[in-house]
Structure 1
Amino acid sequence: MNNLPSIKTNRLLIRSINEMDIENIYRGLSDPEVIQYYGISYNSLEATQEQMDWYAAPDQYWWAINSADNKTFYGAAGLNDVLHQHHKAEIGFWLLPPFWGQGIIQEALPEICRYGYDKLNLHRIEGFVESDNENSKKALTKLNFKHEGTMRDCEIKNGQFISLEIYAKIK
């Protein structure tokens, strides 16, 4: 796994994802509510190892989001597809449904963005959100990501075309 620094906020411990997290990652990425707008899902712990390997790849910077005492796993967030030559990356995040609407993303994402700007020398952080995903669009807007446009019918999911909204935040 990537050995990322831990980040503490008032309520959260944002730490490197490690092999011990596989059950929590599986719990999230097999939950119908979480994966409704997420590009991947898994139906077993063994299959979830693919995601764990992806988190460990050199151009992925993902953290587990936990309670400050590290006893409760809330979800995961990070920067992926880092393009150093263009000083940009994509942001992604998900939470287990019992923790939705509690301001966890509002507390975690600014720290992750700060890491991207300060440590990875990013200039642009972008988010691609399915048009129907109102919660993620609201979260990014609250974090001062600017809506730049819509890529209409740009991907196929479950046999149907979907559109993606583009959000970005410049350093």
Structure 2
Amino acid sequence: MKKRFPVLETERLILREIIETDRLDILEYLSDEEVMKFYGMSPFRDEEEALEEINWYRKIFDFGVGIRWGITLKEINKVIGSCGFHNWDKRHHRAEIGFELSKHYWNKGIMGEALRAIIPFGFVELNINRIQALVEPENFASLGLLKKLKFNEEGLLAQYEFTCDKYDDLLMLARLKKDF
């Protein structure tokens, strides 16, 4: 039996499942070099790559190791970004948070609004105790947002990830359920 994907609603947003018909929306912003600068992947080149990303979202949900919501504005049913949890370790009650947004919607409070919806969902509905984020030190926008959302910086993981033919340092940030 297929699990029902939870839809979340905020003042301006609907957070919903991303489906194959959203592939052009996904391709639009994941092909943008600025959006992909800190994503750990090269900008997408075609619909096939967007479909692979959508299939990954479906797979992590189906296998119970994550969930990724498409961010849509209430007035238009267009996916303008995504956010969610991955590497969900149920035994240790922790997961990583990840997010990205089309640059046309940067600096409008949209991602903060979306994360303020999924963080409580993670703590309460998914019983996550620790939500962690791995962020490149130069990604000032994401670091600022996470700190605004009461994530604490825990330290630098030197050359933690190999992406786009280079090793990346990542900062570990986390927020605990007890501080929620």
TM range (shorter): over 0.9
Contact (CA 8 Å) 1:2, 1:55: kept in 2 or not?
Answer: no
What is the Cα deviation at residue 108 of structure 1?
A: 0.7
What is the Cα deviation at residue 2 of structure 1?
A: 6.7
Which amino acid in the other structure matches residue 96 of structure 1?
Answer: S
What is the Cα deviation at residue 84 of structure 1?
A: 0.5
User: C-alpha distance in 2, partners of 1:79/1:36?
Assistant: 20
Which amino acid in the other structure matches residue 11 of structure 2?
Answer: N
Contact (CA 8 Å) 2:26, 2:80: kept in 1 or not?
Answer: no
Identity rate, percent: 34
- 1:18-29 → structure 2 map (5 Å cutoff): 18-29=19-30
Query: What does residue 10 of structure 1 align with?
Result: 11
Which amino acid in the other structure matches residue 145 of structure 1?
Answer: F
Query: What does residue 153 of structure 1 align with?
Result: 159
User: C-alpha distance in 1, partners of 2:120/2:27?
Assistant: 28
Aligned pair partner of 1:115 in 121, 145, 148: 121
Query: What does residue 173 of structure 2 align with?
Result: 167
Query: What does residue 135 of structure 1 align with?
Result: 141
Which amino acid in the other structure matches residue 54 of structure 1?
Answer: W
Query: What does residue 52 of structure 1 align with?
Result: 54
User: What is the number of residues matched between the two proteins?
Assistant: 171
User: Please, what TM-score do these two structures have when normalized by structure 2?
Assistant: 0.88
Which amino acid in the other structure matches residue 38 of structure 1?
Answer: Y
SS in 2 for 1:86: coil
| Deviations 1:55-111 (CA, angstroms, capped at 9, x unpaired) | 001222000111123434321101111110110100000000010011111111021
Aligned pair partner of 1:43 in 42, 45, 51: 45
User: C-alpha distance in 1, partners of 2:26/2:140?
Assistant: 23
Which amino acid in the other structure matches residue 128 of structure 2?
Answer: L
User: C-alpha distance in 1, partners of 2:104/2:72?
Assistant: 13
Which amino acid in the other structure matches residue 162 of structure 1?
Answer: D
